[in-house]
Each structure stands twice: as structure tokens, then as C-alpha cells.
Amino acid sequence: MDPLPLVIAHRGDSANRPENTLASFASALELGVELVELDIQLTKDGHVVVVHDPTLDRTTTGQGAVSAHTLAEIRALSAGYPERFGSAFASERVPTLAEVLHLLRGRARALLEIKHESVTGNDDDGIEARAIAEVRKAGVSDGVAFLSFARLALERCRRQAPEIPRGHIFFKAEVEEVLEGAREAGTDLVMPEKSMLSLELRDRVRSAGLRLATWVVDEPEELRALEPYGLFGVGSNRPGVLLEALAEWGE
């Protein structure tokens, strides 16, 4: 019998707190998660910040590209996701990667997703190198992994920080493409979107010595339906709900 999957707090406890904020990550820690997923972007002045979109419009009170703003300009904004949460979290700010790593250190492992649009032609001083520097500075190389849809980003991470694990995310891909991507990027984890899951994919991934995770699963019934795939982890916006369900199943 396969072990129960780990619940990955997708952007933190994002159903109940503004995503990718310290409030969201703190709430996920209070729930007892072991893995937290977060997204990183690069500011105009080269700081690694934690925000999902390439633009500020959806989750903050600002507008325009993250890469067109300095850290100071971004920090002046509210990251309280006003469209969804009103003014309840108006004091939240876009955190730096360093701040999030400090919060999570020794409490949960972090999956750092390098967004596809942040990957540039800069090998030596791009988002990959800067994120690696922050991880090493925080002393948490053994407590994080890099994720990306972008194979180039993962290949750079492999060259620049071979000691830090990597995971390849997929949205739509054939089984062979998943395995090829994992080989080329040297990953030990693949994260296909849940509609991609199949018994063939499960078996091929296992035969290749890889771990299999998926996203986004918010309902216990759906999690139960995914049981045949022997998942290592599931990304969820409602980690507390899934943790409660898994605790009941494990009794």
C-alpha cells in the first residue's frame, strides 16, 4: 500500500489568506503542512520577490509588470488581494524570498516555482542565480526544491546548484515528454496537472525512479479518487481540509 500523499500548501493557505503572502504561509504552518509552494519573480532592481503573476494587477493595489518596478515601489503596495479579501489583509506586503525562507526555515520545506516569464537569456545573473544565492544565504539548501515549467530554468539550477533538488511541472504533455523533461533537467520529481494522471504515467514514472505529484486538489473526494496514482504530494489551496481528511483516513 502506498503511503498517504503529502499536502503541498499551494501559495500557502491561499483559499483563506491572500496568496503568496506571509499571512498565507503562516496560516499554512499553523495547519501543520510539511511542504509549501510559492512563486518567485524578479524586480527591476534585481530582488527576488514572492508573487505569482508577472504583473501586479490581480493580487496587489499596483499595476504593471513586476519587472518594471523596484523593490521599494512594490513594497509600498498592499498585497492583500483586495478583489477577493477586501481590506481584511490590507497591511500585507509582497514578501521577499529571503523573508519567506526565514519564516519557513526549520518548520516546512519550500517548493520555489520559477515562473516561465521570468526566465531570460541571462545565465549568470538571472532569476535562477539570484534565487540560488538567497537560498544559500538563508542556509536552507537542504530544505527547498526548485520547480518550473521552463526546462531552461531547471537546467540552469542543475548547473549552478546541483545540491538543490528540482521538480518539472507540466500542464499538457505526453508520457514520453514528461520522462524526457525529467531526464534533461535532472529532476527527481514530476508534477503533471491532475488531468494528465494515468496508470501508465504512474508506472513509467516509478520505473524511472521518480516521484509523482500533482495540482490543484481542494476536495477530499477528489483526493480519494486520485489514490490509485500513488502520489508523493498534492498541491492544494485548502491544505487544512485535505490534512483533516488524510488524518481520518490514516486512523
Which CATH number does the domain housing residue 176 bear? 3.20.20.190
Asked if the structure places residue 23 within a domain, the reply is: yes
Per-residue confidence (pLDDT) for residue 1, from 0 to 100? 59
Asked if the structure places residue 22 within a domain, the reply is: yes
**Mind listing the pLDDT tens digit for each residue in 18-49?**
999 999 999 999 999 999 999 999 999 999 99
Per-residue confidence (pLDDT) for residue 250, from 0 to 100? 74
Per-residue confidence (pLDDT) for residue 215, from 0 to 100? 98
* 141 alpha-carbon distance from chain centroid: 16
Asked if the structure places residue 70 within a domain, the reply is: no
Asked if the structure places residue 236 within a domain, the reply is: yes
Weakly modelled stretches of the chain, pLDDT under 50: none
Q: Specify the number of domains making up the chain.
A: 1
Asked if the structure places residue 179 within a domain, the reply is: yes
CA dihedral 50, 118, 33, 167 (to 10 degrees): -160
Per-residue confidence (pLDDT) for residue 251, from 0 to 100? 67
Q: What is the number of alpha carbons within 13 Å of residue 143 lying toward its C-beta?
A: 20
Annotated catalytic residues are 10, 52
Asked if the structure places residue 127 within a domain, the reply is: yes
In which domain, by residue range, is 143 found?
6-54+95-249
Asked if the structure places residue 146 within a domain, the reply is: yes
- CA-CA distance, 125 to 108, in Å (whole number)? 28
Per-residue confidence (pLDDT) for residue 3, from 0 to 100? 86
Asked if the structure places residue 128 within a domain, the reply is: yes
